[in-house]
Structure 1
Amino acid sequence: MTATPFDAYVICTSPRSGSTLLCSLLEATGVAGIPDSYFHQPSLEEWIKDLGLSPDPAKREVETLKDVFREAIAQGSGDTGMFGLRLQRHSFACFTEKLAVLYPDPPGDRSRIEAAFGRTLFIHLTREDKLDQAVSYLKAQQSGLWHRAPDGSELERLSAPQELRYDREAIAAQRAEMVAMDAAWAAWFDGEGIDPLRLTYNGLAADPIGTLKTVLTALGRDPAAADAVEIGVAKLSDATNQAWVARFRAEENAGTQT
């Protein structure tokens, strides 16, 4: 049996880009790890808590980091022999800072990531329409609901629902932030000499199984593992999203013309 070309993959993304759907599809194949945001919060203490570890104040930071990364790899690999990580851009600075503590000698982030995880495929998952992305983010914040299953049940709720309220300034600020996140990923890829596998929200939404097969093929896994996978995440976009987008564009166009 020929060895696969990669031991791990990192989904480099930003919120509301379809990463929850992609992670659920990859996990469902049973051959590509259990990808998740194992280093999501910008805090070592939160990593320890989220991974179910017990803090030990007597340990040096580097020893604690060894425990954290070992546990994250175990949870993110399962019994598949491949580690999957979703890395949101707002988690990036803390992640690379702690990675440098754990692996101070390798030159650069890419070398340190591969020192930690082995041969790594970098995947850039982006959402082309930043206004749609910003509206989706603001609506999720207000509603408290971030993901729903195809049957209508809630998959992830982070807060109690609030009244949905159109906020032009908040949407504009969030759109600018989403643009900045994509630019930061692009600059990092260039600086580290990375040519990532590039995926888009629209492509994933239009053909989730085809996109999944593309990823499996790139990872050196059998794309046939995608054949029996069922879609486990539904779109949350609705008439409210469409109305906010239309209103924002109309107001923006009116402002441009005055």
Structure 2
Amino acid sequence: MIPQTSYVIFGVQRSGTTLLCECLKKTGLAGVPEEYFLSAEYGGPWVPEPGGEARREFIEQVLAKGTTPNGVFGINIMWNYLIEVVEKLHELPEYSSVPRHLLLKNLFPNLHHIWMIRRDKVRQAVSWAKAGQTGIYASYQLERQEPKQKPFFDFELIDNLHHLVLEGEAGWENHFGQCSLEPYKVYYEDLVVSYESKTIEVLEFLGLAAPKEFKIEDLPVKKQADAVNEEWVQKYNEMRKTQQEPGEMRRTSPRPSD
């Protein structure tokens, strides 16, 4: 199926993109957004096969899987693998000469841009660090697997991820600037307060009417933050104050993001 309307949810890890995807799936009208372009190396569906017909077939499968019967397609893309996606698409002759900032617009019809942001970047970095240590990135995983290890406070790890969050958001902002567009912004802190109202607002942005008496129940993802997260946030903020002068940003080499 060729979608009539499409959208990309742009984000950085632990910004709430998965939660927004699940909310939109519950409508039955807004596609089936997933991280379809996440490499198989990181548990995603995109196998790094050579370019050509196999890659075209994969893109066709993504469009079919991510589109609801009303012709709406959705996908979730993270900043840290955008370059890899661009490189793979540029291997196809039909996209080889398309500038990076125009690739997605050429790939997805009637494209709408949704930017998922978390206001509290430190809590985002803490969430990312904890998920990376335990291997549990979504609450439903606890039903299928045990954590890899007990999480422990690591200032350097959290600090590096905090910088990656900031760099990722700056990267998306630059991307939108190159595209000369203003994305529709959804803030994680607003979404968790009211799933329904924020989801309806996104539907309206896409030109879709919400189902009557729309309710979001039994989401497969739930808030994972607990007392450990709060303890780490406080400890990180205290240590950060002692390790840098006001207005000076500490820099270290980032660890692998995922």
Q: TM class, shorter-chain normalised?
A: 0.7 to 0.9
Partner of 2:61: 71
Matched, 1:170 2:157: yes
- CA–CA distance in 1 between the matches of 2:121 and 2:111? 28
1:254 aligns with 2:242: yes
Question: What are the within-5 Å matches in structure 2 for residues 1-258 of structure 1?
Answer: 7-41=5-39, 47-49=45-47, 61-102=51-92, 103-104=94-95, 107-148=98-139, 154=142, 160-224=147-211, 227-230=214-217, 232=219, 233-256=221-244
What is the letter of the counterpart of residue 9 of structure 1? Y
**C-alpha separation in 2, matches of 1:161 and 1:185:** 31
Q: Unmatched 5+ residue regions in structure 1?
A: none
Higher mean C-alpha displacement, 221-230 vs 205-214: 221-230
TM-score normalised to the size of structure 1?
Answer: 0.83
* 8 Å Cα contact 1:204-1:211 kept in structure 2: yes
Going from structure 1 to structure 2, the CA distance change for 1:255 and 1:121 (only over 3 Å counts) comes to same
Q: TM-score normalised to the size of structure 2?
A: 0.83
The CA distance in 2 between the partners of 1:9 and 1:105, in whole Å, is 22
Change in CA separation of 1:6 and 1:253 when aligned onto 2, cut-off 3 Å: farther
Aligned residue for 1:10, secondary structure, equals: strand
Q: Give SS of 2:91's match.
A: helix
Once the two structures are TM-superposed, the CA of residue 197 in structure 1 deviates from its matched residue by 0.5
Query: Are the counterparts in 1 of residues 119 and 187 from structure 2 also a CA contact under 8 Å?
Result: yes
1:41, 1:47 within 8 Å by CA — same for their partners in 2? yes
How many positions carry a matched residue from both structures? 240
CA distance in 2, matches of 1:256, 1:38: 40
Higher helix proportion (structure 1 or 2): 1
Taking the aligned partners of 2:46 and 2:78, their CA distance within structure 1 comes to 18
CA distance in 2: counterparts of 1:255 and 1:49, whole angstroms: 42
Provide Cα deviations, 1:200-248, integer angstroms capped at 9, x if missing partner: 1111112221110111001111123671332512110000000011011
Q: Give 1:110 deviation, angstroms.
A: 4.8
| Residues in 1 aligned to 2:164 and 2:192: alpha-carbon distance in whole angstroms | 23
Kindly tell me: are residues 130 and 41 of structure 1, through their superposed partners in 2, closer, same or farther at Cα, counting changes over 3 Å?
A: same
User: What percentage of residue pairs aligned between the two structures are identical?
Assistant: 27
Q: What runs of 5+ residues in structure 2 fail to find an aligned partner?
A: 247-258
C-alpha distance in 1 between matches for 2:125 and 2:143:
21
Does structure 2 retain, via aligned residues, the 8 Å contact 1:147–1:155?
Answer: no
Q: RMSD across aligned C-alpha pairs, in angstroms?
A: 2.6
